Amino acid sequence: MANQTRLTDFLPYLLSITSNAVSDRIADEYRAHFGLKIPEWRVMAVLGDQGAATQRALVEATRMDKVAVNRACRVLEDRGLLGRRPNSADGRSHHLDLTAPGQKVYRAIMPIALEMEERMFSALSADERTLFKDLLERIRAEAETTGAQP
């Protein structure tokens, strides 16, 4: 029989529930202040950070499925926070970008997001935060390059 471990010791599980707990806490703030759900904020964050993008690029950047990205974009567009223009390089897609009101919301959220990050990670020293970010990046990179094992 294979060696079994408790679920609470399984690193992917711990990473997932920790990520969800942090996202849920942040989502409470975004919802209370700006009426945004997590997928909507993720789309806004990418566009605010990187500028205009196609939905395909947003799917890649957010690691969300295309239905969630499409729904978030539609909500943001309906609220006037996101605009779209034709993609001259590919007639089947559009460039999406924050409108002036969307940029205003993005700029208002960022200080709140950074303050929340500071609070949540205050248990770690500056060196530990740097190490933690490095470790997360290494795990993400390994997850993206490791193929299915037979």
pTM for this prediction? 0.80
Give 63's contacts (C-beta < 8 A, 6+ positions apart): none
The rounded distance, in Å, linking the Cα atoms of 107 and 72 is 19
User: What does each of the 150 residues of the chain score in pLDDT, given as a tens digit?
Assistant: 456 678 888 988 999 999 889 888 888 988 999 999 999 999 999 999 999 999 999 999 999 999 999 999 999 999 999 999 987 777 778 899 999 999 999 999 989 888 998 998 999 999 999 999 999 999 989 988 876 555
For residues 51 and 97, the answer to whether their CB atoms sit within 8 Å is yes
The rounded distance, in Å, linking the Cα atoms of 106 and 109 is 5
Going along the chain from its start, the domains and CATH numbers come out as 9-117 (1.10.10.10)
**How far out from the chain centre does Cα 150 lie?**
31
